[in-house]
Amino acid sequence: METRSMNAHARIPSSVTATLAARAVVVSLHITQWSGRRLDRQITDEVNREHGASADAGRFNKLLLPKEALQPIQSIVSATRAEFDKRTLPWMDGGGRIMNAAAIMANDRWLSLQKQKFMDAVGEFIASYPELVRSAPDRMSGLFKDADYPTVDSLRDRYSMELRKLPVPTPEDFRVSMSEAQADVIRADIERQVREGAATAVRDVYRRVADVAGRMAERLTAYRPAARKGDQTEGAFRDSLVLNVRDLIEVLPMLNITGDPELTAMVDRLRPLAAWDAQVLRENEGVRKDVAAEAKKILDQVSGFLA
């Protein structure tokens, strides 16, 4: 396929604010959790004095419970944030993220399952918490302070997970008492910010495509299976090489916030890269070369956009 020159703003429709207002929603994931850590100012001061350092040279933070006590909750939180970022796109200097409005219900169902896992893990932790606090003096020795440990009731209130949604701003949303000339300047600024935000979001989608296609082209081309028993395989790759492409194919429709026909077609372009399991790619040289060539074509197509 011929490589076409693209750039971020060229792929953004002129009526971007109206397009995004109808197709997209700004979302932010809010998760609260107890850190299980506490700054000990007394020990901090003692250590800094002992080493002749200034009072703000170091800080001593205590891990109040064994790290494995909170690890199940922290793992769910990390996985949820990572998946949320996969399902959404960057927007407006970190002020939330953006996604296709058509995917909101599916996203809500996914988050509901994650929240249930999260609260189940919280429930198990809270059930074990009294015993953990009882054993804390032995573990912490001279660092133990009863006041560091919240009550069970207050601890429960420190955990939450929710998705907040806002409409994409449009110049028409702007209402304030000022001169029409001043209002026009601000409306134009809103339009500019939305266009720039949309360009950044769309660029992120193409970057994801370039990442998976480029990695596949590189790894499949470099792969050399062991010719004889005892020889070493060169350029070995993991199953995730294919799984990452399949994941991207799944989320691309919810990331196409502008209705870009190129991105709609990209789903089908990516399918040949995910048609074979990694083991087939390792064993079948012909299939491996064909997939690598197709991955290189996709990479070439999107590279002009990212230049």
The pLDDT score that the predictor gives to residue 9 is 46
pLDDT grade for 180, boundaries at 50, 70 and 90: low
* Domain's final residue, options 132, 156, 173: 173
pLDDT, residue 190, reads 65
The answer to whether 215 and 281 have CB atoms below 8 angstroms apart is: no
Is the residue at 184 inside a domain? yes
Residue 292 belongs to some domain of the structure = yes
Domain match, 200 and 66 both: no
Same domain? For 99 and 190 the reply is no
R_g of the chain computed on alpha carbons: 26
284 with 187, same domain?
Answer: yes
CB 54 within 8 A of CB 48: yes
199 and 65 share one domain: no
Instruction: Please indicate, yes or no, whether residues 73 and 153 belong to a single structural domain of this protein.
Output: yes
Domain residues for the domain of 161 are 25-173
Q: 51 and 138, same structural domain?
A: yes
pLDDT (average), residues 106-131: 97
Are 255 and 98 a contacting pair, CB within 8 Å?
A: no
Tell me the pLDDT tens digit for each residue of 93-108: 666 899 999 899 999 9
Distance CA 84, CA 82 (A): 5
Bridge partner residues of 39 (DSSP):
61
**37, 169: one domain:** yes
What sign has the CA pseudo-torsion 237, 89, 262, 104? positive
Query: Both 71 and 56 in a single domain?
Result: yes
Neighbours of 181 (CB within 10 A): 7
The pLDDT score that the predictor gives to residue 10 is 47
pLDDT reading at 275 higher than 60: yes
In a domain, 236, yes or no: yes
Together in a domain, 205 and 168: no
Q: Please identify, among 141, 173, 205, the residue that sits at the C-terminal boundary of a domain.
A: 173
128 with 189, same domain? no
Count CA within 13 A, CB hemisphere, residue 275: 14
Residue linked to tokens 């294919």 = 242
Q: What digits encode the pLDDT tens for the residues 39-49?
A: 989 888 888 88
What's the number of domains the chain is made of?
Answer: 2
This prediction has a pTM of 0.79
Distance CA 109, CA 145 (A): 42
Closest listed residue to residue 260, CA positions, set 202, 305, 196 = 202
pLDDT exceeds 50 at position 179: yes
Q: What is the pLDDT of residue 175?
A: 56
Q: At 39, list the tokens.
A: 């700054």
Would you state the pLDDT for residue 3?
41
Among 69, 16, 61, 77, which residue's Cα sits nearest to residue 257? 16
C-alpha 275/C-alpha 253 separation (Å) is 19
Supply φ then ψ for residue 25, to 5 degrees: -145, 145
Task: In whole angstroms, give the CA distance from residue 97 to residue 237.
Answer: 32
Looking at the structure, tell me whether residues 147 and 268 fall in a common domain.
no
Same domain, 46 and 132: yes
User: Which amino acid type is present at position 90?
Assistant: P
Query: At 112, is the pLDDT very low, low, confident or very high (cuts 50, 70, 90)?
Result: very high
